[in-house]
Amino acid sequence: MSETVPKPDELVQIDYRPPVRDWMHTPVQFRRGTFCYAAAPKNLKYLEMPNPRDWQPMDEDWKLPENWREIILEGMRERLEKFRSFRLFMDICVRCGACADKCHFYIGSGDPKNMPVLRAELLRSVYRRYFTLAGRLAPKLAGARDLTVDVLKEWFYYFYQCTECRRCSVFCPYGIDTAEVTMLARELLNLVGCNINWAIEPVANCFRTGNHLGVQPHGFKDSIEFAVDELEDLTGVRVEVPIMKKGAEVLFIMPSADYFASPHYYTLLGYLLLFHHVGLDYTVSAYASEGGNFGLFTSHEMIKRLNDKMYREARRLKVKYLIGGECGHMWRVIHQYMDTMNGPADFLEVPVSPVTGTRFEHAASTKMIHICEFTADLIRHGKLKLDPSRNDHWKVTFHDSCNPARAMGLLEEPRYILRNVARHFYEMPENTIREQTFCCGSGSGLGTDENLEMRLRGGLPRANAVKYVRDRFGVNLLTCICAIDKATLPPLLDYWVPGVEVAGVHELVGNALVMEGEKPRTTDLRGQPLASIQPPEVTHA
């Protein structure tokens, strides 16, 4: 934890009183720890994005193009015509404030501009000034204001202080979706080269190598082989992981963190055991080696540019359909964008589980199913041999990741799996789970260390709900199905609620799976001793 971050008891002294001064005339302060650094020019150049240059948000001069205002306004006009959502959300908000205390960043910071209504007003005030009659005639009365450099800086600060989690949208009487507003605002910022490196570098990596982390084909293969070796050590079973095997039934795509970061890695071990257990004919690809898509945090065009490789690789490998791993925003893209952008996937077949025969009609067009849907179906049909006592050392809770919850509705599948692979499962309070789940505070490309204070603030509501189940039920493991969660929740929980670890759902599946020909398991996939063998064999005495 960096030196500059205050202690929890200091950080939690949150002043919710709004400033006396009108928000339109309160310029933004770039305070260290609460914003992300600018995108490096090399990344922008590689992606052929506008205005690559050396700059940082705390600089006075942002080195904007001379006609930056025209570019932004033209960009707005274009998007108002392309997105009904944009025009509608600019027009119909009544500022009822129902969204205000639904935002994790507002709860954690008390900054009124983190109330979703005001975050969107930052953009709306400019929309009204240039695109509505009332705003042109009487800007003051209409709540309109000029687009100035200060306004642009404010946009940058607050639209990169929204994780596009959609929690506010659940409560909005008109369904105004701040994620949509933020996505479009970021597109506008991107037009004049105001973007953050933590989003753009993964995009550049992904475009080039196929994955956010920039892992190249040999690195990919090494990682997978390492996992296979490790699994053999742990279980005595040697699984086979075909890489880019043509004619396999299924192409499996996971977020790159699963094969390159911890604790994601244990989830990968879980997937591999599962596929081996049911004898799935599948393959993974070093080209389509990323499920995640930081294009979602950049622009619609970038989503499409990065996501292209999924169907492209599926076609090349002549698979029948795709299965996707545990990742939140990846599933927003797959579920709500992929088919529209990169489809139609008419060269694929409607997914059918080769083990149970279940036809996944709900994925009949996109031809991609979530690993949790696949696994839940297997369990339901009794196709998995499970020993849930192998997870007895964990008291488990489940964190709904924003996108599977609010852009998909994947709520019960992971819970069903967890109840079958673990024996101690506890829900967090109902206002913090399912469609009301709280973000980890680091989504949408904000999970970088220079932004740590803001991440800890934004993660407070989630961590606080975890604290509740830790204190009440002794929960020591938070499971989730999102790679960003797995990367950013461990430091968050260490800070707010020490003693709770983070794992993917399929890590617990892997622990519980009784593999054919396995050696007696003494540890879980992390190499930690199992609870059941901790008291030496006295039970049969």
Partner 1 sequence: MHVLPALITVLLLVAAGYAAGRIEALRFFFGAVVPLAAVAVFLGGIAWRVLRWAASPVPFRIPTTCGQQRSLPWLKHARLDNPATGWGVLGRMALEVLLFRSLFRNTKAELHAGPKLVYSEEKWLWLAALAFHWSFLIVFLRHLRFFMEPVPAFVLALQNLDGFFQIGAPVLYWSGVIILVALLYLLARRLWDPQIRYVSLFTDYFALMLLLGLVSSGLLMRYFTKVDIVAVKQLAVGLITLSPVVPAAVSPLVFVHLFLLSVLLAYFPFSKLVHMPGVFLSPTRNLANNNRARRHVNPWNYPVKVHTYEEWEEEFRDKIVAAGLPLDKE
The footprint of partner 1 on residues 75-94 (CB under 8 A) is 80-88, 91-94
C-alpha 104/C-alpha 440 separation (Å) is: 9
Binding-site size for partner 1 (CB under 8 A) equals 120
Between 64 and 376, name the residue whose CB sits nearer to partner 1. 376
Minimum separation from the CB atom of position 367 to partner 1 (A): 8
Task: Enumerate residues 452-511 that contact partner 1 by CB under 8 A.
Answer: 460-461, 464-465, 468
Residue 18 engages partner 1 in binding (rule: CB under 8 A):
yes
Which listed residue (207, 265, 266, 321) binds partner 1 by CB under 8 A?
A: 207
Residue 25 engages partner 1 in binding (rule: CB under 8 A):
no
Q: Are 122 and 113 in contact (CB under 8 A)?
A: yes
Q: Are 324 and 367 in contact (CB under 8 A)?
A: no
Between 64 and 254, name the residue whose CB sits nearer to partner 1. 254
Which listed residue (173, 279, 498, 529) binds partner 1 by CB under 8 A?
A: 173
Minimum separation from the CB atom of position 82 to partner 1 (A): 6
Minimum separation from the CB atom of position 400 to partner 1 (A): 11
Helix orientation angle between 371-380 and 505-512, rounded to the nearest 10 degrees: 30
Minimum separation from the CB atom of position 362 to partner 1 (A): 5
Which stretch in 175-183, 230-238, 501-509, 525-533 sits in contact with partner 1 by CB under 8 A? 175-183
* Cβ count within 10 A of residue 14: 13
Residue 349 engages partner 1 in binding (rule: CB under 8 A):
no
Helix orientation angle between 264-278 and 505-512, rounded to the nearest 10 degrees: 50
- The counts of H helices and E strands in the chain are 25, 7
Between 215 and 525, name the residue whose CB sits nearer to partner 1. 215
Between 57 and 75, name the residue whose CB sits nearer to partner 1. 75
Structure tokens, 513: 């799976």
- DSSP, collapsed to helix, strand or coil, labels residue 368 as strand
Residue 5 engages partner 1 in binding (rule: CB under 8 A):
no
* Full DSSP string of 492-517: HHHHHSTT-EEEEHHHHHHHHB--TT
What phi and psi, each to the nearest 5 degrees, are found at residue 375?
Answer: -70, -45
C-alpha 165/C-alpha 119 separation (Å) is: 14
Burial class (CB in 10 A: 0-12, 13-18, 19+), 343: middle
Minimum separation from the CB atom of position 87 to partner 1 (A): 5
Minimum separation from the CB atom of position 463 to partner 1 (A): 9
* Full DSSP string of 10-71: HHT----PPPSS-GGG------TTSSPPBPPHHHHHHHT-S------TTSS-----TTHHHH
Between 115 and 268, name the residue whose CB sits nearer to partner 1. 115
Specify which residues 187 forms β-bridges with.
none
C-alpha 190/C-alpha 193 separation (Å) is: 5
Residue 218 engages partner 1 in binding (rule: CB under 8 A):
yes
Between 95 and 526, name the residue whose CB sits nearer to partner 1. 95
Q: Are 474 and 395 in contact (CB under 8 A)?
A: yes
Which listed residue (275, 337, 398, 425) binds partner 1 by CB under 8 A?
A: 337
Between 1 and 96, name the residue whose CB sits nearer to partner 1. 96
The strands making up 321-324's β-sheet, listed across from edge to edge, are 282-283, 250-253, 321-324, 368-370
Task: Enumerate residues 511-540 that contact partner 1 by CB under 8 A.
Answer: none
Residue 40 engages partner 1 in binding (rule: CB under 8 A):
no
Whole-angstrom CA distances from 427 to 141, 320, 467 are 48, 37, 12
Minimum separation from the CB atom of position 121 to partner 1 (A): 7
Between 273 and 317, name the residue whose CB sits nearer to partner 1. 317
Between 49 and 502, name the residue whose CB sits nearer to partner 1. 49
Task: Enumerate residues 375-404 that contact partner 1 by CB under 8 A.
Answer: 376-377, 380
- Cis amide prior to 263 (ω within 30 degrees): yes
Task: Enumerate residues 120-149 that contact partner 1 by CB under 8 A.
Answer: 121, 132-134, 140-143
Task: Enumerate residues 241-300 that contact partner 1 by CB under 8 A.
Answer: 243-244, 246, 286-287, 300
Minimum separation from the CB atom of position 467 to partner 1 (A): 8
Residue 318 engages partner 1 in binding (rule: CB under 8 A):
no
